[in-house]
Amino acid sequence: MSSNTSTSTLIAPHGGRLIDRVEPSTTHADAMHQAETLPCLTLTARQLADLECLATGIYSPLEGFMDAGDYHSVLESMRLADGTLWPIPVVFDVDAQDLARIGAAAEIALVWAGHIVGTLQIAARYSADKAREARAVYGTEEPAHPGVSALRALGDVYLAGPVRLLEPSLHGSFDRYRYTPLRSRAEFIRRGWRRVAAFQTRNPIHRAHEYLQKVALEHVDGLFVHPLVGMTKSDDIPAELRIRSYEVILERYYPLEHTLLGVFPAAMRYAGPREALMHAIARQNYGCSHFIVGRDHAGVGGYYGTYDAQRIFEGLTSADLGITPLPFENAAYCPSCSQMATRKTCPHPETNWVQLSGSRVREMLRQGIRPPAEFTRPEVADLLMLQAGCLEG
């Protein structure tokens, strides 16, 4: 089904319609009773995230997990079989034990934490082409790449078909900030926002983030700060700490009438340029007109060039993608300028700038070294140090 709510002042969803596969309250009891009669599979964290993104319209126009035609088309051309731009396969993997458990069932119940949360109508089953998928999506087959490692761990068969979400409150965390596209669009309209810039991150906020966000805010009506809270690498900063860092900074340094904090429930794939496109499409579905793309968006290690995630948007037309990318140069604090700067605004060599990678910050915290104020505000440094056990509580 698709929603036809009044969003004429906002950008159209990707593909022209906003998907809503959440079971209405009026039919919930009957749907749950039916689901209890079905064979069931327990979801992985990634499958849970994909279920939520599919059912609530974050991945519009997809209504469920991809069939073989869409899967191979996405790998080959970054488009669904009907030509719609789509960069990364959204698939439901199963192994031999799962297949034995569900047999020839045409529909299965999906379980999380011991409770049925949704259903999947099985329209098709097909074999994964993991080597080709790794090369197309991640640009490498190296198992050291976290996306490739996660791909290799998936089952070898993919199930395709539409989903139904029976329990919208899947997590019990970040409920205050868990906007569906329907809800975010309604909130943007309530605030009178038409031009909205979205910011994606999987790290705690630092000065470069703040700089990019506020520069973008000068050109739009509102800023949708949208950190990812789905599955990430084990050494990434925990989602709870990332959200707390944003709460502290937004309360003290941002105009709240022009800023909205939400959480993005997707799982992180670390697919660099292709994932940047995926993130942009999702934010278009949320109702955002612009999407901030910084350096090495969704990158990991040295697998992608610094600005590859920006270049992938080049050549796309408004028919391909409605949301407008806002590419930014690498930003950092320049002591000579006494302010945040990029190569476009600063004449001094980047070697003089105060800039730290996420891995370097994590290493500093492990060593009990406080991140400098030129890199992140003291309030965030306090939170990071407490998390690392470096400050007395």
pLDDT of residue 171: 67
User: How big is the CA angle at 320 (ends 318 and 326), to the nearest 5 degrees?
Assistant: 60
Can you give the pLDDT at residue 175?
A: 87
**Sole residue written with tokens 């992938």:** 312
Summarised one tens digit per residue, pLDDT across range 46-63 is 999 999 999 999 999 999
167: helix, strand or coil: coil
pLDDT tens for residues 210-220?
Answer: 999 999 999 99
Q: Percent of the chain having pLDDT more than 90?
A: 81
Dihedral of alpha carbons 9, 13, 14, 16, sign: negative
Backbone φ, ψ for residue 148 (5° rounding): -65, -40
Q: What are the structural domains, with CATH classification, of the chain?
A: 2-165 (3.10.400.10), 176-387 (3.40.50.620)
Q: Which one of 203, 244, 330, 362 is the catalytic residue? A: 203
Identify whether 202 is a catalytic site residue: yes
User: Which token pair is 205?
Assistant: 């906020």
Q: What's this model's pTM, rounded to 2 decimal places?
A: 0.93
**pLDDT tens digits, one per residue of 169-219:** 776 678 899 999 999 999 999 999 999 999 998 888 899 999 999 999 999
Residue of 194, 227, 226, 199 whose CA lies nearest to 212: 199
Taking only the tens place, the pLDDT of each residue in 87-128 is 999 999 999 999 999 999 999 999 999 999 999 999 999 999
pLDDT of 343-375, one tens digit each? 999 999 999 999 887 778 888 888 999 999 999
User: Which three-class secondary structure state does DSSP give residue 367?
Assistant: coil
CA 92 to mean position of chain CA atoms: 18
Cis peptide, bond prior to residue 371, ω within 30 of zero: no
Give the percent of the chain with pLDDT over 70: 96
Q: Give the pLDDT confidence score for residue 5 in this predicted structure.
A: 43
**Which residue out of 178, 185, 202, 274 is catalytically annotated?**
202
Q: Where are the alpha helices (DSSP H) in 296-376?
A: 308-311, 358-366
When pLDDT is cut at 50, 70 and 90, the band that residue 3 belongs to is very low
**What are the tens digits of pLDDT across the range 227-260?**
998 877 777 778 888 899 999 999 999 999 999 9
DSSP secondary structure of 182-200: HHHHHHHHHHT-SSEEEEE
Confidence band, pLDDT 50/70/90 cuts, at residue 266: very high
Q: What is the structure's pLDDT at 36?
A: 97
Q: Which residue has the higher pLDDT, 3 or 164?
A: 164
Residue 41 has pLDDT above 90, yes or no: yes
